[in-house]
Chains A and B, each alone.
Chain A
Amino acid sequence: MWKWFHQLASPPHFYRISLILAPWLGISGLILVAYGTWQGLFVVPMDYQQGDAFRIIYVHVPSAYLSMMAYMIMATSGAIGLIWRIKLSHAVAAAAAPIGAGFTFLALCTGSIWGRPMWGTWWEWGDPRMMSELILLFLYFGYMALRSSIDDTTKADKASAVLALVGIVNVVIVHFSVEWWSSLHQGQTVFKKGTMDADMRIPLFIMLIGFTLLFGSMLLRRIRTEVLYRERRTRWVREMILSPGGGA
């Protein structure tokens, strides 16, 4: 197990595995998301209170979940890189940031569009759930800005990993904001006390898995790019690129 882990952490080995794995993640994710979207839009019954506006849940919850998931991947791999000095893990952290920012933006937008007809407001300044998710977006921006502002890759890795670790606090706040403070946002449905009919819940789980797989395939591609750039002067990259067929 340990040996396997070390092997995977070696950039050329990871690169090869990722090339094989990424398309499978992408294709299976696409199939699940297509099925879940069809279910969510046309098959699932409408909600007894919200009517058809409830269908927004099938894109809002997966993007909100990924916005936090991506951050945790970014922060933990940054920490692993800081502590054990594994080169690959900093590449993972750098690759996760833009995707996480994208899904955070998506979660904010879909939440706002959903809130307008249901809650009666696009946005509430001071609402803990909304504010902490907005801070999450700024954390991603800050992280990417910090990275691009430091030319030395090693220094950029360290500084950004510390920033990401500190920002974990905000992810915890996003998660518990609906319990700790009075927010317009309702509590947890998916993994907690909330109830949801099985024919509504199952498509949501399918969407969550599908989004995660799509995220995985996008993440792997960006990690490959990051690894390629960081290892651009090594022999394996040179051999791979100059070999017939390359390794895109």
Chain B
Amino acid sequence: MDALSMGGYGAYVWSCYGLTFVIVVFLNWRGRLRQKRIYREIEVRLKALEDRE
């Protein structure tokens, strides 16, 4: 339980590590989301072009 209380600084230490985790996951997730969206947009457009030809 020592690790949880961190000598009374538990709230500060854990919130920092928690926030770091959240931000890193968020940045990664946003990057993947945008990649998927752009890829899909181009794919749809290219497929439509191909069908027309």
Residues on A lying within 8 angstroms of B by beta carbon are 37, 41-42, 46, 51-53, 55-56, 59-60, 63, 98-99, 102-103, 105-106, 109-110, 113-114, 116-117, 214, 218, 221-222, 224-225, 228-229, 232, 237-238, 241-242, 246, 248
Contact = CB atoms under 8 A, between A and B. Distances in A.
Interface string B13-33: 101110110011011101110
Contacts of A109: 16, 19
B49 to A, nearest CB: 8
Given A99-B31, A229-B42, 4 more contacts: A56-B13, A114-B16, A221-B32, A248-B35
A114 B12 CA distance: 7
B42 A232 contact: yes
Contacts of A51: 6-9
Nearest to A221: B31
Contacts of A232: 42, 45
Contacts of A99: 27, 31
B37 to A, nearest CB: 9
B20 A113 contact: no
29 contacts: A41-B3, A41-B17, A42-B3, A46-B7, A51-B6, A51-B7, A52-B6, A52-B7, A52-B10, A53-B7, A59-B17, A63-B20, A99-B31, A102-B23, A102-B27, A110-B19, A113-B19, A117-B9, A218-B28, A221-B35, A224-B35, A225-B38, A228-B39, A228-B42, A229-B42, A232-B42, A242-B50, A246-B43, A248-B39
B19 to A, nearest CB: 6
A117 B16 CA distance: 13
Contacts of B3: 41-42
Contacts of A218: 27-28, 31
Q: Is the interface of A mostly helix, strand, loop or mixed?
A: helix
A180 B20 CA distance: 29
Interface of B: 3, 6-10, 12-13, 15-17, 19-20, 23-24, 26-28, 30-32, 34-36, 38-39, 42-43, 45-47, 50
A63 B27 CA distance: 13
9 pairs of A and B residues whose beta carbons are closest in the complex: A52-B6, A53-B9, A52-B7, A59-B20, A225-B35, A102-B27, A110-B16, A51-B7, A56-B16
B34 A225 contact: yes
- Max chain B Cβ within 10 angstroms of own Cβ: one of A37, A52, A106, A229: A52
A241 B46 CA distance: 8
A117 B12 contact: yes
Nearest to A111: B16
A98 B13 contact: no
Given A42-B3, A248-B39, A37 B9 contact: no
